[in-house]
Structure 1
Amino acid sequence: MMTQDLLTDAVLYIYALSLLFFVSDAASGNRSARRVGTGLLVFVWVIQTAFLLYILVQSLSNPSLTIREFLFYVSWLLVSLSFLLNRWLRADLLVLLVNVVGFAVLALNLLEHQRRKMELATEEVARRLLVVHISFITLAFVVLTVTALLGSMYLFLHRRLKTKKWTPLMSRMPGLELIDRYAYRSGLIGVPLLLLSLSTGTAALMLTKSLSDLLDLKVVLAYLAGAVYVVSLVRSKIARDDGAELARWNLIGYALLIADFFASALSSFHRMF
């Protein structure tokens, strides 16, 4: 076994098998493979849901979160979101990409880190603010992941069309207008969630730490990401940037979020690894 957590192993292997069936459908249009992949994905979602309910019950008496539990939660949200996207958009490739990201997030559990806690503040007000902060930042990360995937798809399709290099893969993508519309809408959801997480996290920080901690690398990167996302939304309305420009801004913001995640190891007070 590659991890000590049998539950995580089982979900990983079933998830990987599900993705193989989805790839088979994407490559050859094999609908029977898609049905099998969807069934396995539903099974993964059920196991994840049961595990998260267990975590929720446990956290009522001990409000803390390990990195593995956090990644499990993000992966569950991405799986849930893929079901909704498949229902509303019928965009096979986007659903596959979302699930690939979900699997990658879950696969980070293969890293044998010690189960360090993200310690919540002892003061009740700060503790509650941090619980809200973690919830908002997790939801924002999931939604903005979809925004980044849509942006990547837009840039890929835009470049291919501009150079007149058609591939069969492009026939499985939504049109540029549809991608642009949903990227903007997901940004309208994800950016406010990100800003709410920043505000609650900053409030908790000011209650329990010194103001100098606002210059912590993780805090600075989070605010830079928020600023980039806000600028992208403002420019799309005021400057009326085209879809390609909006996609680039969104990808820059997402790159800062990823950098912020890995900056946990360098943070003086917010270590998750």
Structure 2
Amino acid sequence: MVTQGWMFDAILYIYALSLLFYFSDFVGVNRNAKRMGTGLLIFVWVLQTFYLVANAIEQRGHFVFTLFEALLLFSWLMVTFSLILNRFFRIEPLVFFANVVGFAVLALHFFSHHIDSPDISQGEALNELLFIHATLAVCSYAAFSLAAIFSGMYLFLHRQLKEKHWSPAMKRMPSLEKIEIYTFYSILSGFPLLLLSLVLGVIWITLRGDSNLLFDPKVVLSTFILLIYTAYLFQRRFSQSSGTSLAWWNIGAFAFMIVNFLVINLLSGFHR
């Protein structure tokens, strides 16, 4: 094939980064994030187009439209439609979720192709997929950890202000409003990373051919944690929940994440 492993990884990581920016605009109406996401998505489209054209030229006269080509073409069409919708319409939820589907299909194509390649063993391909999956998951854990720290700061400062206890430590802390914003952006960064990590995990299970792993405790609790953070973002955007209730909600979600990372790993069949 024309493209090398580095191009596969580059496209996936750039695609994931564009989704992070698109999600920021989807939840927080951030036009700068939308422009960044659009620029990265255009770059993904260019790389995908180059990949399609180069391989069509290479297979000239011997082209067979296999499942792999169908998956890549589908992902390319999803990116193309997303760019058109982004240019002429303002349907941010559709653009974001359409690209999540496109990302999943693209990853399935790349790693399915790796497994069928005579130069790459199935184990190597699955290990590369697991590496990207784990990288995104760890990055999401880091973002959620920062969010939990900010929530703890929020609750401490709120209690001190409510009881009118002034201390030197309070002078070195940002305002409640800024802390809440920092918490929101931390979760805004971690959420799409965890979502994409789960998507890649499901693809790994699909390629391995063991559907029972979908009910692994780690997978189930990770999905539940994603739903908890979804509820946080929904309350933050659409409800009138107080800052303290959101902070406690975030700390509760982080507690589940700690259990998932430290305890559930011992019960998981393949995360151990």
TM bracket (short chain): 0.5 to 0.7
Q: Which has the larger radius of gyration?
A: 2
Q: State the match for 1:229 in structure 2.
A: 229
Deviation by residue 1:159-204 (Cα, 9 ceiling, x = unmatched):
2212222222212211101101111111111111111111111211
Query: Match for 2:240: what amino acid?
Result: R
- The answer to whether the 8 A contact 1:127-1:204 is kept is no
RMSD: 2.0
- In 1, the alpha carbon distance for the partners of 2:187 and 2:221 equals 18
Which residue does 1:245 correspond to in 2?
245
| Gapped regions of structure 2 (runs ≥ 5) | 1-5, 7-120
CA contact (8 A) 1:140 1:193 kept: yes
Report the equivalent of 1:163. Answer: 163
The 1-side partners of 2:205 and 2:240 are apart by 37
Map 1:168-207; keep pairs closer than 5 Å. Answer: 168-207=168-207
Q: 1:176 to 1:127 in 2, by over 3 A?
A: same
Write the distance in 2 (CA, Å) between the matches of 1:122 and 1:269: 17
Give the TM-score of the pair, scaled to structure 1: 0.52
SS for the counterpart of 1:270 is coil
> Please, what TM-score do these two structures have when normalized by structure 2?
0.52
User: Tell me, what secondary structure is at the counterpart of 2:128?
Assistant: helix
Query: How far apart, in 2, do the equivalents of 1:199 and 1:250 lie?
Result: 23
Deviations 1:226-248 (A, max 9, x none): 11111101111111322222212
Identity of aligned residues (%): 38
Paired position in structure 2 for 1:129: 129
Residue 124 of structure 1: how far off its partner (Å): 5.1
Match of 1:210 in 2: 210
User: Counterpart amino acid of 2:145?
Assistant: T
- Please list every run of 5 or more consecutive structure 1 residues that lacks an aligned counterpart in the other structure: 1-59, 61-120
Q: Which residue of 2 aligns with 1:37?
A: none
1:1-273 matches, within 5 Å, as 122-123=122-123, 125-262=125-262, 263-271=264-272
CA distance in 1, matches of 2:251, 2:205: 28
